[in-house]
Each structure stands twice: as C-alpha cells, then as structure tokens.
C-alpha cells in the first residue's frame, strides 16, 4: 500500500516516502509520503486559500459536515479499529473504545458549531458609556496547525480537527510518524462529508521539517500540539504571537485515603488506568499512594488482577496489553526499572522485558522520588505504589512533580476530598475515580509542564477563535 500526501483536496505524490511497520510484528504496512518544506508550504497555501470559504460557511453547514463525519466513522468503525490495532499496536477492544469516543467527539464538535456566541456588554456601567449597545462575536482565526501523537490517532486528532472546523477555521494536520494512516483515512472521510478543498490538509513528515515550518510560518495563526514537554516548550518559544495550545507530559497520581473501602471496582479501575494501551496514555496512572491501613490489602488484590492481563497480538480479541510503540521504548522501560531497583526499589510483578517489543505490566514499590520512573513521564506499563499515613503529606508528594495534568482521590471524607481538590496542583481532580477519566466534552489540560490552554470541544473552540467587540452609539 502506498499513501500520498493530502493537499488541497487531492492526493499528491510526495518527493519522499517512508516505510511504515507494525510495532507488534515488525511487518511492513505501507509506504507513506513524507512532506518536505515545499510541500508543507503548499499545504499552508491551500489552507490559507480555503480560509475565507470556511469563515463564511454558515454554522448549520459546518454542523452538517461534522455530523456526516461521525456517521461515516460509525459505519466504518470496525475497519478503522483494525487499522488502529495494526499501526499503533492498540489492542482491538481498546481501539474500538477509541473509535466510539471519536464518533462522540465529532458529534460534540457539530453541536458546538451551532452555538458559538458572544455576549452583550453593559457599557453604561461606566460613566461615558451611556447610550450605547455593545456586544461580542467570536471569529475564526484562519489557518490552524495541528500536530498529533501516536497514542490516540483518531480521537486526539478529532480533538484538534473537530473544534477547528466547528469554529470555521482551516487545518494543516501533521500526524505522528507511526500512525499516519488514520489521519489520511480521515481526510477521505471529510472529503466524503463535503468539506471544501483545502480546509483539511494532511501531511506526515519529520518534525524538524514540517513542524518547524508550521510553527514559524506567519500564515499559520494557531498551533495545537500534543506531545513531549521538550518539544512543546521549544515550539511555544518559537511561535511568537501565534495562539498555542499544548497538551504535554504527565505522571498522574492516585490517592486512596483511609476513608474508602478497597473494592473490586477500585482495583479494576486501577488496573485499567495504569495498563490500558500499555500505559501509553497521557493521564495513565503512574503513581499510586495508598493509606497504610489499606496498603497490604490493596497490593495483594492489585497484583492478582494485573497478573491476569493477557499480553499478545493487538488483533486478538482477548489481548489486553500488546507491544509498545517502538523497541526504543522497551529499552527505556528496562533501563528505568533497572535504575530504580539499583536504588532500592522492589519489583512486585513484571520488571523484565518479554522481548524487544513487549514489556509486561509492572508494579514497583519503594521507588526513590528522584528516580525517572517516579519523577518523569513513564508512558509505559509501569506503576509505582507507596503507602502514606498523612493525607496532607501525600498531597505534597503528588505535587512534588514538574507535571500537573490530572489526579484522582478515593475517599468518603468530604473534607478530605475538598482539601485534595483545592491543594492538588493539576488541571483536573477526579474524586472517587482515577486520574485517567476523560469524556470528550470536559475541559482538559494541565498546569506546570503538563501544558498550556485547554481541550474539550467547547473550550478548544474558544482557543481557536478571536473575540471581537462591537459598539453602537444610539
């Protein structure tokens, strides 16, 4: 299979192609066009030319297109789930969950397209403002650059493309190198749904070429990026006056207070939150803090459930955990575990790579706070468990991190819950649930090195529109 670039509503042969291989089997999947600077420039020009068309498109037409996209994905969801399993090594049942969320995300985008609004401003609240009617409007920015990661190749793309289209913008999309096929198929879907040519352009390619051009080009009015903090921070520094939305790293923590019974549901949520898609999720549980009263019970039940997870081919219905996205990541997992163990950490289960592509679900205790596996983003199937006696100290331990995306706390003490909600230095606090909770209409984003700006369709529309003020003197 050969996949070309998608520019200005057409499939364009690229000057260069790269082979794409399965992370699980290593088998060849496709040759994918990689854009160079000139081809990136062409995509930006196409988006700029289409910007007036999208800006003038009535809200009901944008709503119709986005709903049509959701309908097409619904019809093709099994095919698309297999594609995600193949190119991202995401277990099939997990991939189906992503496609279900993707459909919902585009439906939310369709809703928001129909209710973008401003507000009246009471100018007569100030002396000299009498005799005027004033109001605000939200206007599209123009060309949006979307740079997306591998781990949710349909839904995280939807969180950028959906609100951009809903707001009347145009997009140049650079998908992750390992998962370009999902975005290229999305281009087909939007074309079928009736999106004007040039409104969506999909150009896989190296970040040093495509990403640099998108960030530096003055025709691009906003950049929305999900990826590593190092790249995101560098991008923000180069973006100048562009709008920038960054969803970066995390080492999400879960607190289990003494005022909560250890239940089967809690254990299941912890297993899901830590090991779904091999932990390659921005809000995967990486650190669990359990009150000493519950520690032993929790650890025994957690270990037993983790060891029941099925490791294997992502295309098998029974598989829970499959390959990491690259062999380099498996080596990193092993190096970080070995480093922690050399400093006194104890492996409860896992801890040794199964082969060059598979790393097992791993639980560690007694991990030093300055070890990478504790203070950096693991982005793999590894979780640390610690006990605590004081909730206040546990909150301080959670906050002792350069990241702050989401956190969770299980407690039946309302005062403890509200204290944690107030004091945890994160963008979202989940009470009596894990930090991996996300639905697609909620505000989503972090503080510190976890990001800048918010996703979640309505909130992303605000990021991708300009507020315009109008005053009429009577």
User: For residues 329, 331, 334 and 336, what is the CA-based torsion angle, rounded to 10 degrees?
Assistant: -70
User: For residues 191, 76, 326 and 406, what is the CA-based torsion angle, rounded to 10 degrees?
Assistant: 90
- The answer to whether the beta carbons of residues 254 and 409 sit under 8 Å apart is yes
What would you measure as the largest C-alpha separation in the chain, in angstroms? 76
SS3 216: helix
User: Which residues have a Cβ under 8 Å from the Cβ of 442 and sit 6 or more positions away?
Assistant: 428, 456
Please name which of 189, 195, 193, 214 lies closest in space to residue 203, comparing C-alpha atoms: 214
Whole-angstrom distance, CA of residue 138 vs CA of residue 120: 13
Whole-angstrom distance, CA of residue 323 vs CA of residue 312: 8
CA distances from 410 to 14, 285, 307, 414 (A): 52, 14, 23, 10
Q: Residue 238's beta-bridge partner residues?
A: none
Whole-angstrom distance, CA of residue 458 vs CA of residue 466: 14
User: Which residues have a Cβ under 8 Å from the Cβ of 248 and sit 6 or more positions away?
Assistant: 226, 227, 228, 229, 232, 233, 403, 446, 449, 450, 451
Calculate Rg over the CA atoms of the chain. 23
SS3 356: coil
User: Which residues have a Cβ under 8 Å from the Cβ of 163 and sit 6 or more positions away?
Assistant: 109, 112, 457, 460, 461, 463, 464
- Cα atoms in the 13 Å half-sphere on the side-chain side of 97: 13
Residues annotated as catalytic (active site), given as ranges: 247, 282
- The answer to whether the beta carbons of residues 401 and 247 sit under 8 Å apart is no
């Amino acid at each position: 299979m050969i996949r070309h670039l998608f520019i200005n509503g057409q499939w364009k042969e690229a000057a260069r192609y790269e082979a794409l291989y399965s992370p699980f089997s290593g088998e060849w999947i496709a040759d994918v066009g990689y854009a160079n600077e000139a081809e990136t420039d062409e995509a930006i020009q196409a988006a700029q030319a289409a910007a007036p068309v999208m800006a003038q498109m009535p809200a009901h037409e944008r709503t119709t297109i986005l709903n049509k996209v959701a309908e097409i994905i619904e019809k093709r969801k099994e095919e698309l789930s297999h594609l995600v399993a193949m190119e991202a090594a995401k277990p099939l049942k997990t991939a189906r969950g992503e496609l279900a969320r993707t459909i919902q995300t585009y439906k939310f985008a369709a809703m928001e397209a129909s209710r973008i609004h401003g507000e009246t401003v009471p100018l007569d609240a100030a002396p000299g403002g009498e005799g005027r009617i004033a109001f605000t409007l939200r206007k599209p920015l123009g060309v949006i650059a979307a740079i997306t990661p591998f781990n949710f190749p349909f839904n995280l793309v939807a969180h950028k493309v959906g609100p951009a289209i809903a707001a009347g913008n145009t997009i140049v999309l650079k998908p992750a190198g390992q998962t370009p096929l999902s975005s290229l198929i999305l281009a087909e879907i939007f074309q079928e749904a009736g999106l004007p040519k040039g409104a969506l352009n999909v150009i896989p390619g190296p970040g040093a070429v495509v990403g640099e051009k998108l960030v530096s080009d003055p025709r691009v009015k906003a950049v929305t990026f999900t990826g590593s903090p190092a790249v995101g921070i560098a991008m923000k520094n180069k973006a100048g006056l562009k709008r920038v939305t960054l969803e970066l790293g995390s080492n999400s923590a879960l607190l289990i207070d003494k005022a909560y019974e250890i239940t089967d549901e809690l254990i299941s949520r912890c297993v899901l939150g830590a090991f779904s898609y091999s932990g390659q999720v921005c809000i995967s549980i990486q650190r669990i803090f359990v009150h000493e009263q519950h520690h032993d019970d929790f650890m025994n039940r957690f270990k037993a459930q983790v060891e029941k997870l099925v490791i294997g081919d992502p295309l098998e219905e029974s598989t829970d955990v499959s390959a990491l996205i690259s062999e380099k990541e498996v080596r990193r997992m092993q190096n970080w575990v070995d480093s922690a163990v050399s400093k006194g950490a104890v492996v409860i289960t896992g801890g040794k790579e199964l082969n060059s592509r598979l790393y097992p679900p791993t639980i560690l205790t007694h991990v030093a706070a300055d070890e990478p596996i504790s203070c950096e983003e693991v982005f793999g199937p590894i979780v640390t468990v610690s006990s605590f006696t004081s909730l206040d100290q546990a909150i301080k331990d959670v906050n002792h991190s350069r990241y702050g995306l989401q956190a969770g706390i299980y407690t039946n003490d309302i005062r403890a819950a509200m204290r944690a909600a107030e004091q945890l230095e994160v963008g979202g606090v989940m009470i009596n649930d894990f930090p991996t909770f996300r639905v697609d209409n909620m505000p989503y984003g972090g503080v510190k090195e976890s990001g800048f700006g918010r996703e979640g369709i309505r909130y992303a529309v605000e990021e991708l529109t300009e507020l315009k003020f109008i005053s009429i003197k009577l």
